[in-house]
Every structure is written in structure tokens, then in C-alpha cells.
Amino acid sequence: HHVGCPNFLCVHRQIRSKRLAPVMIKEANRRVILSSDIIQAVYTAGVVLPQPHMSTCRYWHRMLNPKKLIEIEFSTIPPQFVRMQRPMVATERFFALPDKPQLPNLREMKEADVPQVRELLNSYLEKFAFAQVFDEAEVQHLLLPREGIMNSYVVETEGRVTDLVSYYTLPSSILGNPKHSHTHVHEVYSYLNV
């Protein structure tokens, strides 16, 4: 079956209270139905959706710069560290990353990897009853690294791509914090991983 899948819907912050998202979703559905035989769509939301829906998903945050995130009140010191003598130091130590990747043969994805990444991704997704089937143009558009937007890495062993790790970045302005007023929080979301 073919399914429509809007990838990212964005409404300007000044008009978010006007309830335009449902109107935009209905319009996207209308256009898909008019231009094809597709009669169903898949989308996600950061709010509870009305029933019926096919699936739910939960996600977690993993702080990469806990000091900054706590200073701007995006996050707080985890409860297990609050009573410690130096809670910020304990938090930073807990979330510290190794100096270099721990996975051997991990490297940034290149355009030459697109055919193997497509094959790897589609064969992984075959085990699910409901999954997208990617063509090379989609893999190239969605996964090739773009600075500040998309990061994709592959593990190459003996000339074969065996693993894929990808994530996208959404920058958010920091408001009302004099120490960080001219910087952003770069939220990173896991994307397609095999």
C-alpha cells in the first residue's frame, strides 16, 4: 500500500495560536488524494493525538552539554545528583562522552555510499509490517550530511556498509538568558539507524 508521509510541518511562532496545523494537514491530505491513489497518511506530533491511531512512540533526552542546558533552564540537575557536594560536576561527569568514537570503521557517509545505504536500510525495514521503502534519490536527499542539518555515519567493513547512524539538528533560540542570549540550543534527534 502507498501512504503519504509529511516529513516536517512548521508554523511561524507568531501565528501558532491560530490552529493552522490541522488546516495545513487537511490541505496536504487533500492534495495527496487529488494527485494520486493514496488515501492514507502517517504523521507524528509532540502532543497526544485523538484515537484511533496506529502507533505511539516515546523519546528521551540525552544531554550533551548539561551545564549550558541547566543554565538556560532547558533541563535540571538529575535528582540523583542534587544532594551531592558538587551536583553540576557530577552531572557533567555522568553525561561526558568519550574523546573519540568507540565503534571501529565509523566514518561520515559519502554520496558513493547511497546505493549500499539504500539496500541496508530497505532490507532492515522489510521485517516491519509497516515501513517506508526508500529509493536512491530519497536516501541521497534525506541522509547525505548537511552542516547544521543532517549528520549521517556509516560503518564500512571490507568495502561493505554494514551499519548506519543518522541524526538531524534543530536549532532553538535562547530567550531571556543574558549569559547565553546570542547562542542557540541545538537539539539533535536520532533519525534512521541500522
What single string gives the DSSP state of each residue in 141-193? Answer: HHHS-BTTTEEEEEEEETTEEEEEEEEEEEEEE--S-GGGTT-EEEEEEE---
| Rounded CA separation 165/154 (Å) | 6
Q: What are the tens digits of pLDDT across the range 156-171?
A: 999 999 999 999 988 8
pTM summary value: 0.72
| 19: its cell numbers | 490552529
Q: What is the pLDDT of residue 123?
A: 97
Q: Cα Rg for the chain, rounded, in angstroms?
A: 20
Do residues 6 and 38 lie in contact, with contact meaning Cβ atoms separated by under 8 Å?
Answer: no
pLDDT per residue as tens digits for the range 70-101: 998 888 999 999 999 999 999 999 999 999 88
